[in-house]
Amino acid sequence: MRLITSAPSESSRNGTRTDLHLAAKQGFLNMEMAGVLSVECLEAGLLISLYEINHAIYPSAFLSVGACTRYSQAMGFGGPNALKLRPPYNRSELEESRRLWWAVVLLDRYLNLGSPSRLASVYDPPDDGSMVIYDDSQETAIANSFGSSKLGQRDQGCPALIAQATRLLGKVLRHTSHNYCSETDLEAQCLGLESSLCQRQEKESSQLGRTIASLIDAAETEARKWAVPIEEQLMICYSSLLALYNHYKACKGDHTQWDEQTLVAVERTRATVIGRCRELLSDPVTSLESISPFFLHCIYMIAILGQSEPQSAIATRDVLVKALKRLERRWQAAGVYIEILEAREILQSP
């Protein structure tokens, strides 16, 4: 917990590779070598992995997520047919195991956003009983600091939204990993099936876009109704929608096959991300601790998508880059995104 809440040192580019980080990694390795399989160790491994992803510590982040995947599978997480060390004693333990497994899946999917063609470490959890559930128990409410007057609120609906968003992110990664110029497409072209294959891919892309847009609407409605924070849930949905939009744009050049609902959701997402960046820059006292690290990828995607008007595109890009520079004080992955944007600009210059 101390590691994930620590900010990078401003005096060093490698300020995130601290003694605390090395001690946490060594501690996790020692527990693994001692043959200890526990929920607490898995949770520590997930926090270490999240820390490395958000500070762009590679290849450590990639390897740490893989280690958490195998560690959780060794504990019996990952589905109803998995070999478990022991059955859960109560409903709380069952729910805890489900949420931990979805956390593993989320980090694996989020790690692959920059390279969709990379094989996922785990499959999506099955629909039969693996989804996190609503828990209105007194113990859970106290643990999450909810007062007794709010026990009826949908405070435990948030993990379910994260699970749904993670499932859709996995589908987007699988869809975008199949390039339209793949060997399958070449074979189909030889057989005269190129048109039907493209239609199927366009239909799948449009359906995914509509589903993500609907989940965003549902999440925002629930958040307004029950006054619960859903920052991470929305950012995962935004990243999925923008990645799908960018892939389709790169392959087809337009989105004529997408329906109005999806295109409106894309524009709303673009406006929301840009608006939050402007708010971040206009208020220098805003705490960076309250900003989700998943927000970084959304800013990057909006920056590479650009806008139709050249003048507004330049001004918007400037706002996005400045926001990333400020967020670099908290998450050093923001600095890496800036470097990628600068490299793209050089490559695309005439």
Question: Residue ranges of the domains in the chain?
Answer: 1-133
Q: Which helix (H) or strand (E) holds 99?
A: helix 91-111
Q: Give me the pLDDT at residue 115, please.
A: 82
Express each pLDDT in 79-100 by its tens digit: 655 556 556 667 777 778 888 9
One-letter amino acid identity for 51? Y
Q: Give me the pLDDT at residue 186, please.
A: 44
227 or 73, which is more confident? 73
Express each pLDDT in 128-168 by its tens digit: 555 655 444 444 444 444 444 444 455 555 788 888 999 99
Express each pLDDT in 273-311 by its tens digit: 999 999 999 988 778 888 889 999 999 999 998 766 667
At 164, list the tokens. 């749904």
Express each pLDDT in 324-345 by its tens digit: 999 999 999 999 999 999 999 8
Find out whether 262 and 238 touch, Cβ atoms under 8 Å: no
Find out whether 288 and 330 touch, Cβ atoms under 8 Å: yes
**How many CB atoms sit inside 10 A of residue 150's CB?**
15
What is the secondary structure of 220-266 as a DSSP string? HHHHHHHT---HHHHHHHHHHHHHHHHHHHHHHSS-TTS-HHHHHHH
pTM for the model:
0.84
Residue tagged 């729910």 (tokens): 95
The whole-number average pLDDT for the span 182-197 is 51
Give a three-class secondary structure readout of 270-305.
HHHHHHHHHHHHHCCCCCHHHCCCCHHHHHHHHHHH
Q: Give me the pLDDT at residue 27, please.
A: 94
The whole-number average pLDDT for the span 92-113 is 88
Q: What are the C-alpha distances in Å from 151 to residues 117, 142, 154, 196, 226? A: 43, 9, 8, 52, 11
